[in-house]
C-alpha cells in the first residue's frame, strides 16, 4: 500500500473515532443536563450496564506494514456489543457488612421495640429536634417485641424503587424470584406486575403517602382503597418512619388505628431514632455526604446484614434514560422531577453514583434496563 495513502487512511479513521467519542459525551450531557450538576450526574449515569446498553466502538489494530509475519496490512474497525457480566464480589460484600455494623445494629435499628418506649413518652423528631411527639397507645401496641428480621438471613434480596425506568423492563418475574423483596412507599404492584412483580416481604410507607396517593382518606372510597392495599400485604413487614420529621404524626395515627381496627395481617416496624444518623455516619466515612438518605440507600444499608447478594431495581433519578427516552419519576403516577430539586431533602443523583460504584465493584447489582428474561 502506498505510504501516503496509508497515512491518509489512518488520519481519517483517527478523526472519525474522536468525533464519535465527542458525540457520545455530548449526547449524555444533553440527556442529563436538565437535572443540574451535569458533571456529577454524567459520572453517576455512565458505565451501568444492562441488557439494552449501547454497543461500544472497538479498535482492532490487527496489523501494520511494519509488523513482520502478518499477512493483513489493514486496520479493522468494527462495532459490536460488548457483554458486561456482573459478578458478585463476596469479599467486598462481607467487608461492607462489617463496616456498616460498626455504625448500626441492623436488627434493633430496623424498629423501635416494646420496652424501649411506653405510652405517653415524649420524643424529639430526628430531623426536627425542636418538635416533639407523644407515643400513643396504638403506636405502642404495634411496636414489635423483637426485630421482625431477628435471626433472618437470605441468599438474595431485591430492593425495588419506584422509578419509571421499570416500565417495559419485564423485570417482574426476576424480582419475584428473589428470597426477600423490599419495596418502597406502598407503591402499587398488581397492575404493573409484569415489570415490577408482586412479591413483597417488606414495604416502606412514608406518612406523606397517605396524603399523596390516598387523598388523606377523606372519604370511604379512599379509605377502602387504602385498606385494600394494606390487606394485600398479607404478613409483610410494614415499615413506617414515624419519628423522622414533624407533619406526619396524624397520618401515622390513622394508619395504626386502621391496622388495629381491621386486624390487618402485617408486621409493623418503626425505624429507630438513631438509624438515620448511623446510616449517614457509614456513608460519610466513604466520602458520600447524604443529608437525608432515601429509602434506597437506607434499605441497602440495612439489607447488608440480612442478605448475601443484593439486587436493586427501579432506581434511576434522571428524566431520560441512556437512549434519550423519557423516564417517569414514578412508574405509577405523574409526579414531576421538580420533586427532587436542589431545594428538596434528598440528593438522589449522588446516591445513584454511590450505588453505581458499588455495582461496578460487584458489591450489589443495579439494574437500569430490561431484565434478561424479558421478551
**Residues acting as catalytic residues:** 346
Query: How far apart are alpha carbons 343 and 56 in whole angstroms?
Result: 37
For 142-196, the DSSP string reads HS-SS-TTTT--EEEEEEE---GGGTT---HHHHHTSSEEEESTT---GGGHHHH
Task: Count Cα neighbours of 195 within 13 Å in the Cβ-side half-sphere.
Answer: 20
Here the cell at position 119 is 405510652
Q: Is residue 304 within 8 Å of 97, Cβ to Cβ?
A: yes
CB contact set of 231 (below 8 Å; sequence gap of 6+): 262, 264, 265
CA distance 321 to 289: 25
- Rounded distance, CA 223 to CA 212, Å? 13
- Given a contact cutoff of 8 angstroms between Cβ atoms, the answer to whether 307 and 157 are in contact is yes
| Number of neighbours of residue 103 by Cβ within 10 angstroms | 20
Of 312, 301, 304, the closest CA to residue 93 belongs to 304
What cell was used for 11?
488520519
Per DSSP bridges, beta strands 154-160 and 202-204 are: unpaired
Amino acid at each position: 500500500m502506498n505510504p501516503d495513502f496509508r497515512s491518509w487512511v489512518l488520519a481519517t479513521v483517527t478523526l472519525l473515532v474522536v468525533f464519535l467519542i465527542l458525540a457520545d459525551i455530548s449526547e449524555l450531557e444533553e440527556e442529563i443536563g436538565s437535572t443540574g450538576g451535569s458533571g456529577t450526574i454524567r459520572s453517576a449515569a455512565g458505565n451501568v450496564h444492562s441488557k439494552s446498553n449501547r454497543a461500544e466502538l472497538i479498535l482492532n489494530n490487527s496489523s501494520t506494514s511494519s509488523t513482520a509475519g502478518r499477512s493483513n496490512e489493514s486496520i479493522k474497525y468494527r462495532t459490536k456489543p460488548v457483554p458486561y457480566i456482573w459478578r458478585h464480589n463476596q469479599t467486598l460484600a462481607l467487608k461492607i457488612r462489617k463496616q456498616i455494623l460498626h455504625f448500626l445494629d441492623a436488627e434493633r435499628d430496623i424498629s423501635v421495640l416494646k420496652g424501649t418506649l411506653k405510652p405517653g413518652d415524649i420524643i424529639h423528631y430526628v430531623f426536627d429536634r425542636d418538635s416533639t411527639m407523644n407515643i400513643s397507645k396504638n403506636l405502642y401496641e404495634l411496636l414489635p417485641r423483637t426485630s421482625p428480621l431477628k435471626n433472618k438471613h437470605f441468599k438474595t434480596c431485591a430492593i425495588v424503587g419506584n422509578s419509571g425506568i421499570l416500565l417495559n423492563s419485564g423485570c417482574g418475574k426476576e424480582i419475584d424470584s428473589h428470597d426477600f423483596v423490599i419495596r418502597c412507599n406502598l407503591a402499587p404492584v398488581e397492575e404493573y406486575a409484569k415489570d415490577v412483580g408482586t412479591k413483597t416481604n417488606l414495604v416502606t410507607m412514608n406518612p406523606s403517602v397517605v396524603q399523596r396517593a390516598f387523598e388523606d382518606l377523606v372519604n370511604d372510597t379512599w379509605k377502602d382503597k387504602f385498606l385494600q392495599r394494606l390487606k394485600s400485604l398479607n404478613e409483610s413487614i410494614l415499615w413506617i418512619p414515624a419519628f423522622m420529621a414533624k407533619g406526619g404524626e396524624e397520618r401515622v395515627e390513622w394508619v395504626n388505628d386502621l391496622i388495629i381496627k381491621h386486624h390487618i395481617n402485617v408486621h409493623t416496624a418503626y425505624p429507630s431514632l438513631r438509624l438515620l444518623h448511623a446510616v449517614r455516619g457509614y456513608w460519610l466515612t466513604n466520602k458520600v455526604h447524604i443529608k437525608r438518605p432515601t429509602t434506597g440507600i437506607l434499605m441497602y444499608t440495612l439489607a447488608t446484614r440480612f442478605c448475601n447478594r443484593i439486587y436493586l431495581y427501579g432506581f434511576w433519578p434522571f428524566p431520560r434514560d441512556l437512549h434519550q427516552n423519557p423516564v417517569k419519576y414514578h412508574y405509577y403516577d405523574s409526579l414531576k422531577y421538580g420533586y427532587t430539586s436542589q431545594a428538596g431533602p434528598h440528593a438522589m443523583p449522588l446516591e445513584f453514583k454511590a450505588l453505581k460504584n458499588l455495582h461496578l465493584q460487584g458489591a450489589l447489582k443495579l439494574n437500569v434496563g430490561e431484565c434478561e428474561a424479558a421478551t
